[in-house]
Amino acid sequence: MTTEIFLVRHGQPVLQNALLGSTDSPLSELGWLQLNESFSKLVEIDSIVSSSLSRCASFAQNFAEENDVNLIIDGAWRECHFGQWDGQSYQQLHQKYPQQVSQFFSDPDQFPPPGGESLKAFSERVEKALKNLVMQHSGQRIAVVTHAGVIRTLVAWCLKMDYASGLHFRRFAVDYASITHLSIYQDDKFYPQLLGLNQRPELAEVTV
C-alpha cells in the first residue's frame, strides 16, 4: 500500500530573521496567502496533519473546516526546540554567542543550543511521527503542515543521509509554504521515494 505525504512548510510568520523553534509566532498576512496558494495545488487530500504551533495549526484548522477534511493536530510535528536561544534574532545570537552559534550551525549534533533539544532526539521524534502516520493512514493522501527542520529531516530519512552530519540543513532549501512530496510504500518495511522538493508558490520568498 502506497501513502502520499505532502509536507508543507508554514508560511511567513510575523517573527522573522530569528531562530524560530518552539516560539509560537503566528502567520503574517503574506504567510496566509502563501499557504492558500500552495493548498490550491493539492487535490483529493484525505487528511491534514499539523504541528501544534500556531503558524501551522491556525491555517490547518481553517482549511479543514472549510473543506470538510479530517484534521489531526500533533505536537510530534513541531519544530526543534532551541532552548535558551529559541525566538532570538540571528543578529542577537551572533553578537552574544559568536563562537557557540558558529559551532552549532557547522555541527548541530555536537553543539546544540543550551537547554535545547538534541539533534538525535529531534530526528528520532520526527521519524517516529512519520512512520506512525503512514501506519495509521496507509493508502491515503495526507498534507502535513509543519516546519523546515522537520521537512529536512524527513528528506534526509528518505535519502538515507546521516542525521548527525547536519548536511540536510545546508544542502537544499525549504522555503515558506513550499511542498515536498514523499511517496511511501509499506509492507514489512518502509520504501520511500522523494517525488518533489521545495515546490514553491509564486508568493514565496527565499528563506533559510
Indicate which residues carry an active-site annotation: 10, 79
| Burial of 76 per CB tally in 10 Å (0-12, 13-18, 19+) | middle
CA distance from start to end of the chain? 35
For the CA atoms of 148, 173, 2, 141, the dihedral, rounded to the nearest 10 degrees, stands at 60
Q: Which of the 8 DSSP states describes residue 187?
A: S
CB 134 within 8 A of CB 190: yes
CA dist., res. 175 & res. 189, Å (int): 30
Q: How many CB atoms lie within 10 A of CB 140?
A: 18
| Burial of 83 per CB tally in 10 Å (0-12, 13-18, 19+) | middle
